[in-house]
Structure 1
């Protein structure tokens, strides 16, 4: 058996295989994470924690403005995969061209609206002492809005060709350009150099990603030029449903940042950004490795397909050690990040990180079933899960912050993340007729949740003792 497994390894890692795609996606997340945190260290050192928090706040506001993006760029993988399996070889190029052109038009219009509204909106959220810098940063913010949407569409198209390995190389190249630009620009220009670096990163991903996509999609050409009404109707119809999920997801992060800003100012926003970014980045290693599941599930004939059920159960079992590993790595990495980025051990950062790690790590347990729903287009329970997270921020802001301060908001977010996990698990399992799979994996799911909760509780207590 061992010899057979060894002999099967080359086949499992052939170009386009799920194992190879997952491995490269994991490497992408790891490399991008290192680049991001080293860049954070640079900008905080040269521009300060408050200005870094200002940039984060502006990006959060711009992400809320993108709720009107129904181009379907993020879901392009699903349509490219379906088109490449069809009889019409040109269908995939029509889909790609239509989505890219629609994304460009919509996001350019949204960016223009943000630019026009900025003079009226910024004084409502930004302290008077930072207003001049906030206005000066807006060109980089709106440019990043448009380019990041196009970059997401192009990389999603590569995923649709089931070449997440090549997508990973493209994204890593963009991250290296970003970090290199930060090294050159941030010491001289501060947070403005950080903004330029992000624009250069997205532009790099777009150019390289398009070159890669041309290898897999016939008759794609050098520039998108063919917009088709039928392709628009198909992709936009699905994107409207997916965008409802994206809307609740976009609401969560900006609402949380605005709530922390209201509670204690940009400094606390920056601490939340660092604490959240660490766990989300480490979690992103698992999520990125699992991302190739979306086109893999979409390739099955339906939920009754035995191969679908087997893949779902196997992925759910693997998610358990991945979730526990995420918690361990994040909790161990928090003091290191605090020393590297802040130059000191911050008890507030460690406490916030421990709480957020509990919520985000437990959420990993249902990533496979979440992606299965996305691959099949069954999105109602995924939407409900994001709505629960967004609602938790509102509850924390208006009910718990007045009584308990920022810890009340953090507690509400953790409860929202935990409830979203339960919604995804039981809602989708019922929709897939997969409750038997849930029962078979029950020990893994419950054991993983309890282990993560215990680890994070110990870390939280240690952080509070450090504060004393």
Structure 2
């Protein structure tokens, strides 16, 4: 039986973490834009994207840890769990350290190619070593996060990430005004170090056999993980053809200022999408557990996941498209057409991509990754080709358009492969009321955009309030009548404290 209560608690804490992180980055990005300006902000975004190219050295170990921790916990083999965690963490640390040193000269040259504003190159080279140290620490922390997820304690992981994110904001507010871009780099290194320490302490609380410092490494454990993580590593490689490549092409074809606004739009969209995705990721260890105990329930979980995501995407995507111009004025301080255009494209791409998440995460939990690998490789290769072609023709907007097209094609490939393997027909996932909800959401989006562009001189906050109210009034009835609303109510009911059997009120 699926432990619904813990699953729902994990999902709610994960959503809370996303909200806190979103608020922190809303404050932080506006602060950095005002303190550094769009050019240095773009330098920071480009250096982080370039540094992440070293992520190929993690061998998929961070992503794989969640499966093996869940698997051996289900078998009640806790000593093996301790070996998995330590072996994965030590392997990632050593491999990344070696690769970081090896690629450092190459990354310096790459930055010289991607940055067309020569005056900004020294600043990029100055923060590059700090960015690489931060990335190494964050990668080790990724193994620990994945391991905590394997315990199905995303609630603990979420609270830790909330705390360290708030600490990062405080460090930036303290260090950036007097040290500029270098202060931002220092803050990132300190936050990454804090994250490693707190996550490891939490793992020791969950698993007593873990030592004070990870030191046990087993070659047979590494081979077992690598056998599974070859496909995971291919997925990691394909991801390097997404965000890092897109930001590099954005800098080349659009310039650092365009990259700064792309970073704003991307952060907004990814953070909002994470409200859905982070909660949904809570099912991965559950699927791995079901694979060991009761595989027949996996497809039931898949069907409900798809129906829930369709409902949420239909409600959120049109609303966020309509809200984007208001966000531009509130967050950036003015209406920035490039930001709004990029936000619209990214919202469409990422939120429609979300509909493939149940297939993607089910594959991860079951351990059959071929469909994920093929879909992500399609996305990565298409992103490079379309980004270069459309970027050369249309500048920064063309780069984003190429990314979105690649993302949607790859997402369709993952979902199609999963449905084909498991004999799932799309019409069996459809629910009554979905068409009415889609129409109401589109009308609400049109009303929000009509208010903004039709009354350009109105005060922002009152106008935004009216726009949100209009959207709610148009969508509340079809949303309430939709079958998924009852499903959400049933899940919420499982959070109620259970009563003793002899309780007369039970």
1:465–1:242 distance in 2 versus 1, CA, 3 Å = farther
Quick check: 1:215 aligned with 2:205? yes
Which of 71, 78, 81 is matched with 1:82 structurally? 71
> How is 1:181-330 mapped onto 2 (pairs within 5 angstroms)?
181-301=171-291, 305-328=295-318, 330=320
> How is 1:4-43 mapped onto 2 (pairs within 5 angstroms)?
12-13=4-5, 17-43=6-32
Tell me, in whole angstroms, the C-alpha distance in 2 between the residues paired with 1:402 and 1:460.
30
Asked whether the 8 Å contact 1:98–1:226 carries over to 2, the reply is: yes
Tell me, in whole angstroms, the C-alpha distance in 2 between the residues paired with 1:253 and 1:445.
36
Tell me, in whole angstroms, the C-alpha distance in 2 between the residues paired with 1:151 and 1:22.
21
Quick check: 1:440 aligned with 2:428? yes
Which of 71, 80, 85 is matched with 1:91 structurally? 80
Asked whether the 8 Å contact 1:63–1:250 carries over to 2, the reply is: yes
| TM, length-normalised to structure 2 | 0.83
> How is 1:170-189 mapped onto 2 (pairs within 5 angstroms)?
170-189=160-179
Asked whether the 8 Å contact 1:334–1:350 carries over to 2, the reply is: yes
Counterpart of 2:339 in structure 1 is 349
Shift in Å, 1:428 = 1.0
- Please give the per-residue CA displacement for 1:150-182, whole angstroms capped at 9, x wherever unaligned: 111111110001111111011111101111111
1:232–1:452 distance in 2 versus 1, CA, 3 Å = farther
Asked whether the 8 Å contact 2:325–2:335 carries over to 1, the reply is: yes
Counterpart of 1:106 in structure 2 is 95
Shift in Å, 1:373 = 0.7
1:29–1:62 distance in 2 versus 1, CA, 3 Å = same
Asked whether the 8 Å contact 2:325–2:340 carries over to 1, the reply is: yes
Counterpart of 2:35 in structure 1 is 46
Gaps of 5+ in 2: 457-506
Shift in Å, 1:422 = 1.5
Shift in Å, 1:204 = 1.9
Larger CA Rg, structure 1 vs 2: 2
Gaps of 5+ in 1: 1-10
Shift in Å, 1:229 = 0.9
Counterpart of 1:158 in structure 2 is 148
Tell me, in whole angstroms, the C-alpha distance in 2 between the residues paired with 1:118 and 1:74.
25
Shift in Å, 1:239 = 2.0
Quick check: 1:122 aligned with 2:124? no
Q: Which 10-residue stretch deviates more, 238-247 or 320-329?
A: 320-329
1:163–1:303 distance in 2 versus 1, CA, 3 Å = closer
SS of equivalent residue, structure 1 residue 190: helix
SS of equivalent residue, structure 2 residue 217: coil
Shift in Å, 1:276 = 1.4
Q: Which 10-residue stretch deviates more, 387-396 or 301-310?
A: 301-310
Tell me, in whole angstroms, the C-alpha distance in 1 between the residues paired with 2:393 and 2:195.
45
Tell me, in whole angstroms, the C-alpha distance in 1 between the residues paired with 2:245 and 2:126.
23
Quick check: 1:334 aligned with 2:324? yes
1:217–1:240 distance in 2 versus 1, CA, 3 Å = same
Superposition RMSD on alpha carbons, in Å? 2.7
1:237–1:197 distance in 2 versus 1, CA, 3 Å = same
Counterpart of 2:495 in structure 1 is none
1:401–1:134 distance in 2 versus 1, CA, 3 Å = closer
Shift in Å, 1:347 = 1.6
SS of equivalent residue, structure 1 residue 227: coil
Asked whether the 8 Å contact 1:25–1:289 carries over to 2, the reply is: yes
Counterpart of 1:7 in structure 2 is none
1:225–1:50 distance in 2 versus 1, CA, 3 Å = same
Shift in Å, 1:449 = 8.2
- Please give the per-residue CA displacement for 1:121-164, whole angstroms capped at 9, x wherever unaligned: 33222232112111110121111111110111111110001111
| TM, length-normalised to structure 1 | 0.89
> How is 1:308-457 mapped onto 2 (pairs within 5 angstroms)?
308-328=298-318, 330-431=320-421, 433-436=422-425, 438-442=426-430
Tell me, in whole angstroms, the C-alpha distance in 2 between the residues paired with 1:462 and 1:260.
32
Tell me, in whole angstroms, the C-alpha distance in 1 between the residues paired with 2:396 and 2:439.
25
Equivalent residues, number: 452
Counterpart of 1:5 in structure 2 is none
